[in-house]
Structure 1
Amino acid sequence: MQVTEILSEGLKREYRIVVPATDIQGRIDEKLDEIGDTADIKGFRRGKVPRSLLRRRFEKSVLGDVLREAIDRSSKQAMLDRGVKPALTPQVDIAKFEPGDDLQYTVALEMLPEFDPGDVKALKITRLTADVSDAAVEKAVAGLAEREKNFVAAAEGHEAEEGDSVRIDFEGRIDGEAFERGTAEDFDLELGSGSFVPGFEEGLVGAKKGESRDVEATFPEAYSDPRLAGKTAVFAVTVTDVRVAEAVAVDDDLAARFGMADLAALKAAVRERAQRDYRAASRMKLKREILDMLADTHDFAVPVGMVDREFDSIWQQIEQDLKRTGTTWDETDEDEDSAREEYRGIAERRVRLGLVLSEIGRRNNVNVPQDELNRAMMNRALMFPGEEQNV
């Protein structure tokens, strides 16, 4: 086998490889002998079929497999001899091959960069810890009771106030024009919940059952639909019902609603859940700090192909989000070219951090169990609905 390096530019490498005809022919003969050992050919016993006959019948069919195996074997050997680790699958181009001649091809690739990940033991980080206070537990249990409250019909003539629930029909208009998702009937809204456009709930305080009024509300500048962001709408609202809340006592009956034996068990469960949330938040903060430290202390060239692949994944999700909301780039606050540049920088950072973490794991003999790997792959796939197989 003859190997000639024809490109060495940054992380890019390209080699011209020549596999002797004798190697190709030898492997063809081995394949034909394997076929001869099992083939049923009229007039011959297994293993006794002349190679000349096998060649006429089967050489063309085995040639493709032989060439693929020769390319795979010789290219891997060439990279192994030179200490080159491909970042992605190398691109192969067969330059010349005729039966009986040498196999000549080129293989182009980007190699993984060589770098020193440093001593992770030198990183100084602080893990935050916190105990769940009794006051926090009491507040959380009170929140559960609040969510379990019942609404009953208000007295005749009752004026709606914060905490009441109103059932309404409404139609919103901006500059006199109705807009998408701006109309509803029999819509239940708890006043003071902050679940509607700012100003809308406040505009219904004091309303009575059967009353109609116009309510003015302004969509936030950061509203999810850019077509409505920052705009003021006038809603024609009819109140069809007003209901008041009945408080739920914090007692064993409340605990039973959540499948707990008593109030003490409910509080214990709430405390444990809060403690898990604290630990998860601490872990997430610790992870961000570590990644930021590693990003700040490493600045080496990364394979363009890996960055392209990561960027494509990010950009696909962005385009899906725009399509889902029916938004175009002209309707956003960001220029598409600027966004591409920003997210390409994010993609490059992710690739670099991935390489650093991989090298740290290799040097410290860190192995990820298959079940953890499967869970991570599933979580990643769930980020791209409809594209699970591709992920």
Structure 2
Amino acid sequence: MGGFSTLSAPKPWRHHHKLSTISNQPATKNVPSLLFNPPPSRKPKPFYCFALDSSKTEAPPLVVVGSANADIYVEIERLPKEGETVSAKTGQTLAGGKGANQAVCGGKLDYPTYFVGQVGGDAHGKLIAEALEGGGVLLDHLSIVGDAPTGHAVVMLQTDGQNSIIIVGGANMASWPETLPPEDLEVVKNAGIVLLQREIPDSVNIQVAKTARSAGVPVILDAGGVDAPIPPELLKFIDILSPNETELGRLTNMPTESFEQISEAVGKCHKMGVKQVLVKLGAKGSVLFVEGEEPIRQAIISAPKVIDTTGAGDTFTAAFAVALVEGKSKKECLKFAAAAASLCVQVKGAIPSMPDRKAVLNLLQTH
């Protein structure tokens, strides 16, 4: 494992208790009865540093603010024509959404992780709450809204390899309060690091990022999600922007085919006010660009067999965030994230493929 050493522990963190079995709607509205209650809050277990023989120590939590979806997968021969009904070979509904994926990754890496997000009071919301809890995520700040369904996506997998996806934003995009509750902002202020994506309204991300900046908490924005320009007001509160090469190209309107082109596109991000850009390059690895410094490149850690790349980017970003909040060097963070992503692609699905800390450490021992 080489240079993975135990560093001084981060500042202590405070645990906040909030059971969000509430609706964000006024009491005068007819709110349907909720099908489930989130499990009671519990004190997170302390985390282990990279070194296998390190002692346990408490740390400020990872706080993920973002989306939660029920992903409905159907495998079909071809898309139906207008007015036609076709049969699916298989069908499966799994918990997903970039926010929930990243939160579960943090939880499965044995790091104290909160998820701040919204689901509807329906069966899909129950599915997501159970998946989050099963991944070790603290649900004190998971809210249930009464007038919107849980966000979901229908993923149509065709036998020729083509995929078509229909997304219903649901509670991810609707019913957010104009001002987030004080309890949610407080957990952001006390975080070790905050992780955002773009599958919830920009206004929510801006509020969270601004609160984090005022408290000196670093913010990582995963650029995945809505295909729209990132508001300048959000960018100015972001410490690390993390796109893949396609997202980087869209955000900058520049080509990203070669390393030189990627570097030029990142230069445009620096001019937009983002000092650090973490670019995910799929099979070509990853690169961290820090303004004024030499880029740090990380090759992939090859998997014996790639089964499913779904969730690999979310795994990479969340694992990088965990390593960073634990005080590791940027090079160590990239390697830890590469190991986690390598394990992720060897298992089908997003949340089911998130690796645990022991598996990541074992892989790092051989690389």
Normalising by structure 1, we get a TM-score of 0.21
Determine which structure has greater relative contact order: mean sequence separation of CA pairs < 8 Å that are 6+ residues apart, divided by chain length.
2
User: Greater helix share, 1 or 2?
Assistant: 1
Normalising by structure 2, we get a TM-score of 0.22
